[in-house]
Structure 1
Amino acid sequence: MTETVTCSVEGGIFRLTLNRPDKLNALNLAMFEEIARVLDRLDLTAVACMVLAGAGRSFCAGHDLDDLASDEETSAAAERFENGLVERLATLPFPLIAKVRGHCYTGGLELALAADIIVAAETSKFADTHSKFDLVPIWGLSQRLPRRIGMSRAKEMMFSGRTYTGVAAAAMGLANATVPDDELDAYVDALCADIAGNSMRSNREIKKLLADTDGLTVAAGNAWELHRSAGHGPEFKAMIAARRPRKSAG
C-alpha cells in the first residue's frame, strides 16, 4: 500500500509531504493519524526547520469529501483529534514552512495556516469553501486566517468562497512570498538553508516568545520580553568570533 505521507530529515531540515496526488492530497482521518505517527517518531532536537508540502500538482485540495460523509470522519472524537493535530503542527518548536503549489483549499488552507511561513507558486490557488458545502471550520481557520490577513479580508474569503492566486495571496499577506512555479523548490530550499544556518536555539526561543506574547499590549509584551527572554546562548561568543574578519599574518 502506498504511504499517504512521506518524510525525511537531512541537514536539520525535516520534510513532510502529503502523498495522495491522485486525490490532490485531500485529507482524511487516516492521513491525520499517519502524520501524528510521523511526529511521534521524530527527534525534535535534530530539526532546525520543517517543510510541509504536497506531492504532485497540488498542496492539498481540502478534506476528502467522500470520506467526510462517513460517520467516522465526522465523529466528535475525530474532529478533536484533527483539530489537535493542526494545533500540534502550529506549535512545533521549530519554524514551519508551507510550500504551496496548485490547490490550497479549505482544510488544506487550515493546514497551511499552521505554518509560520507560507511560500506559494504564482499559479497556486487558495480558497475557503466551507460555506459552499454547509460547513463551518473546526481546524482553526476562524482563528488563524484573521490573524494572518485581517478580519475584513478573512470575512471576504470565508463568506464568498472565492479562489485567489498565489500572487493575490502574497498581496493580502496570506503568503509570505510568491514565486514562479519552476522556482518554488529552489526558493524554499534557500530559505531553509538560511534558517538552518542560524542558531537553532535562537529560532526556537523566538518562536516561543512570539507565541507567549501574542495578544498582549505592546507595553506588556515588551516587559515580558525584557524579563523572560532567553537572551544570550552558549554559542553566542563563538558565532560572534566566526563573523569577525581574520587578521592577516605578518
Structure 2
Amino acid sequence: MTETVTCTVEDRVCRLTLNRPDKLNALNLAVFKEIAAHLDGLDHEAVNCLILSGAGRSFCAGHDLDDLASGEESGAEAERFENGLVERLATLPFPVVAKVRGHCYTGGLELVLAADIIVAAETTKFADTHAKFDLVPIWGLSQRLPRRVGLAKAKEMMFSSRTYSGVEAAAMGLANSAVPDEELDGYVDALCADIARNSARSNREIKKLLVDTDGLNLAAGNAWELHHSPGHGPEFQAMIAARRPQKGG
C-alpha cells in the first residue's frame, strides 16, 4: 500500500512529503494521522530543519471534498485532532520550510501557514476558498493568515476566494520568496543546507523566543529576551575557532 505521506531524514534535514499526487495531495483524516505517526517517530535531535512539500505537480489542493461531503471528516474529535496537528507542525522546535508548487488551496494553505519559511514557485496558485463552499476555517487560517499578510489582505483573500500567484504571494509577504519553477528544488535544498549547518541549539532557542514573545509589545518582548535568552552555548568557542584562519607552520 502506498504511503500517503513519506518522511526521510538525510544530512539533518527531514523531508515530510504529502504523497497523493493523483488527488493533488488533498487532505483527509487519514493523511493527518499519517503525518502525526511520522512526527511521533521522528528523532528531534537528528533534525535541524524540516522541508514540507507535496509529491507531483501540486503542494495541496485543499481538504478532500469527497471525504468531507461523505461526513467521514465531520465531528468535533476529528476537527480538534486536525487543528492540533497543524499547531504541532507550527511549534516543532526546529525551523520548518514549506516548498510550494502548483496548487496551494484552502486546507493546503492552512497547512503551509504552519511553516516558518514559505518558498513558492512563481506559478504557484494560492487561494482560500472556504467561502466558495460555505465553509469556515477550523485549522487556524483566521489566525495565521492575518499574522502573515496583515488583516486587510487576509480579508481580501478569504472573502473573495481569489487566486494569487507565487509572485503575488511573495509581494504580500505570504511567501518569503518566489523562484522560477525549475529552480524551486535547488533553492530550497540550498536554504535548508544553510540552516542545517548552523547551530541547532541557536535556531531552536531563537524559534522559542519568537513563539514566546508573539503578541508582546516591544518593551515587554525586549525584557523577555533579556531575561530568557540562554545566550551563547557550548559550541561557541569551537565554532569561533573554526572560522579563524589557520597560521602557517
Please say whether Structure 1 and Structure 2 have the same fold, judged by a TM-score greater than 0.5: yes
SS of equivalent to 1:115: coil
- Which residue identity is paired with 1:171? A
Unmatched tracts of structure 2, length 5 or more: none
Which residue is equivalent to 2:12?
A: 12
Which residue is equivalent to 1:113?
A: 113
- Which residue identity is paired with 1:244? R
Between the aligned partners of 1:196 and 1:41, the Cα distance in structure 2 is 20
Which residue is equivalent to 2:161?
A: 161
Which residue is equivalent to 1:34?
A: 34
Between the aligned partners of 1:52 and 1:176, the Cα distance in structure 2 is 15
Contact kept in structure 2, 1:58 and 1:100, CA below 8 Å: yes
SS of equivalent to 1:178: strand
Contact kept in structure 2, 1:123 and 1:181, CA below 8 Å: yes
Between the aligned partners of 2:71 and 2:120, the Cα distance in structure 1 is 34
Q: In the comparison of the two structures, how many residue pairs are matched?
A: 249
- Which residue identity is paired with 2:155? K
Check if 1:79 corresponds to 2:79.
Answer: yes
Deviation at 1:246, TM superposition (A): 1.5
SS of equivalent to 2:51: strand
Identity %: 81
Check if 1:58 corresponds to 2:45.
Answer: no
Deviation at 1:93, TM superposition (A): 0.2
Contact kept in structure 2, 1:72 and 1:78, CA below 8 Å: no
- Which residue identity is paired with 1:214? D
Between the aligned partners of 1:81 and 1:177, the Cα distance in structure 2 is 31
Check if 1:184 corresponds to 2:184.
Answer: yes
Deviation at 1:72, TM superposition (A): 2.7
SS of equivalent to 2:70: coil
With normalisation by structure 2, the TM-score equals 0.99
Between the aligned partners of 2:74 and 2:113, the Cα distance in structure 1 is 22
Deviation at 1:241, TM superposition (A): 0.7
SS of equivalent to 2:198: coil
With normalisation by structure 1, the TM-score equals 0.99
Deviation at 1:71, TM superposition (A): 2.5
For residues 121-160 of structure 1, what are the structure 2 equivalents within 5 Å? 121-160=121-160
Between the aligned partners of 2:176 and 2:148, the Cα distance in structure 1 is 10
Which residue is equivalent to 2:206?
A: 206
Check if 1:69 corresponds to 2:69.
Answer: yes
Between the aligned partners of 2:247 and 2:215, the Cα distance in structure 1 is 47
For residues 200-239 of structure 1, what are the structure 2 equivalents within 5 Å? 200-239=200-239
